[in-house]
Amino acid sequence: MRRLPVYLLLDTSGSMSGEPIEAVKNGVQVMISSLRQNPQAIETAFISVITFDSTARQAVPLTDLSSFQVPDIRASGTTAMGEALQLLASCIDREVAQTTTERKGDWKPLVFIMTDGIPTDNWQSGLAAYKQRKTAYTVACAAGNGADSAVLKQVTNNVVRLDTADSHSISKFFAWVTASIGVSSTKIEHSGKELAGLDELPPPPAELNIVV
């Protein structure tokens, strides 16, 4: 079966502590519960969570929705986004099956990045590694004033901004991510095609501004 891999890259630096990190955890929880009710998503979507603060780690390897358990996420340290992109690249290499003449590989992965700050590491090499991997689309979310959407624009064209990183805005972001994964899994099931960009995703809520 062709899986639809979804990578969530979540900023867990110190500035996220308190309300934002709780909102992120809750957002992931609600997202998983809701996707489990979607017949296409529960069969095809596989989710991985990569968190990054002073270092990056894969908190949950690529896991099917039925088995997925929300990881315990805590906020501390700086913002090693470059390391997270590097890790994403190696996870894609390891976890996403390529199509061969003998078997159909997985669908191209969807990537959602959320950060409230700017990278504190030397992130260009991570960016270069990420750029060499194929994704169906990558959406980056700049949460609050501390995030620099110009930095995220170097990662992907699809950048959205939350004016404040409060629990209401963050929950809206995750609701939209949920809808986007749902639409993507339905689309590949229905027409055998992957989505390519923001314009094919559900319209974002009012809290989410598209950065052009």
Site of interaction with another protein (CB under 8 A): 1-2, 33, 36-40, 42-44, 65-69, 72, 101-104, 186, 188-194
28 touches 173 (CB < 8 A) = no
Closest to 159 in 3D by CA, of 211, 207, 114: 211
- Shortest gap between Cβ of 197 and another protein (angstroms)? 15
Q: How far is the CB of 49 from another protein (least distance, A)?
A: 15
Measured from the CB atom, the residue of 86 and 135 that comes closer to another protein is 135
Nearer to another protein, 101 or 132 (CB): 101
Q: Which is nearer to another protein, 100 or 206 (CB)?
A: 100
Q: Which is nearer to another protein, 195 or 211 (CB)?
A: 195
Please report how close the Cβ of residue 82 comes to another protein at its closest, in angstroms.
29
CA–CA gap between residue 194 and residue 102 (Å, rounded): 21
For 182, the token pair is 């749902």
Tokens coding 67: 């088995």
3-state secondary structure of 134: coil
Element spanning 210, H or E: strand 208-211
Cβ-based nearer residue to another protein, 38 or 180? 38
> Cβ distance 161 to 208 under 8 Å?
yes
**Distance in Å, CB of 28 to another protein, minimum:** 13
Shortest reach from residue 120's CB to another protein, in Å: 29
Can you say whether residue 170 is alpha, beta or left, with left for phi > 0 and alpha for psi between -120 and 50 degrees? Answer: alpha
Nearest one of 33, 79, 34 to 56, comparing CA atoms = 79
